[in-house]
Amino acid sequence: MTNARAWVRLPSGKRLDLLNPTPFDWEDKDLALGLARTYRWGGHSAWPLPLSVAQHSLLVLALRRRWSHGAANAVAELRELLHDADEGLLGFDCISVVKPFLGEAYRTLTARLENAVAIRYGLAPWTPIEKRAHKRADRIAAASEAVHVVGWTQGEVRTTLRIPYTALADDPLRDIYGGTAWEPWPPALAAARFLAELENLYRGTP
């Protein structure tokens, strides 16, 4: 990293230095909007709109809640919701196969953002068991998005994307919010729903 500053001005008026972030550089609304305007799958979609990281984060949280049968606490659920928060601050969701080509500097940048998020919201590191459960939810969400949002076949999910899970038939978010199954939400709606969940969980943490 250099000593240069890479400031971005956020909708709240705050300034975030992407190279040297602090936990005080953004408002919750900035994060929600950033995630709602950051798109998965390179922004490609078989629908009129691309799929936001905000909607993906809510899907992963919904899966973890479904499997825990109400046993998870607010701290654990907040960590699930914020597992891709650094992407909303950076405004970029790099597809996984490209990440190795971006080098250590990119990993250092995202690690600093992840650390600022963890401090801001009091997120403890994953335990090995929690990490495995999270990765399963994240990968099942990805398999389902690939099939229902982007247009990959289930066979391609396994052979080309190398995701060893079957896409869900039902959309867990439809059970919560209604609407059309697997349809990407407009940015304003995704931001509002993410922010509501964030505020609800953050109030519930000790």
Q: What element of type H or E holds 9?
A: strand 7-9
User: What is the phi/psi pair of residue 106, to 5°?
Assistant: -65, -40
DSSP 3-state of 16: strand
User: In degrees, to the nearest 5, what angle opens at C-alpha 142 toward C-alphas 144 and 60?
Assistant: 95
User: Cα separation of 70 and 73, whole Å?
Assistant: 8
**pLDDT given at position 68:** 84
Q: Tell me the pairing of strands 15-17 and 7-9.
A: antiparallel
**pLDDT given at position 203:** 84
DSSP 3-state of 17: strand
User: What is the phi/psi pair of residue 16, to 5°?
Assistant: -110, 120
Please tell me the number of Cα atoms within 13 Å of 193 on its side-chain side: 23
Listed by start position, the domains of the chain span 27-203
Residue 81 tokens read as 């919701």
Q: Mean pLDDT across the chain, nearest whole number?
A: 94
The CATH superfamily label for domain 27-203 reads Hypothetical protein af1432 (1.10.3210.10)
pLDDT (tens place) for every residue of the chain, 206 residues total:
556 778 999 999 999 999 999 999 999 999 999 999 999 999 999 999 999 999 999 999 999 999 987 667 888 999 999 999 999 999 999 888 898 899 899 999 999 999 999 999 999 999 999 999 999 999 999 999 999 999 999 999 999 999 999 999 999 999 999 999 999 999 999 999 999 999 999 987 66
Provide the 10 A C-beta neighbour count for residue 167.
19
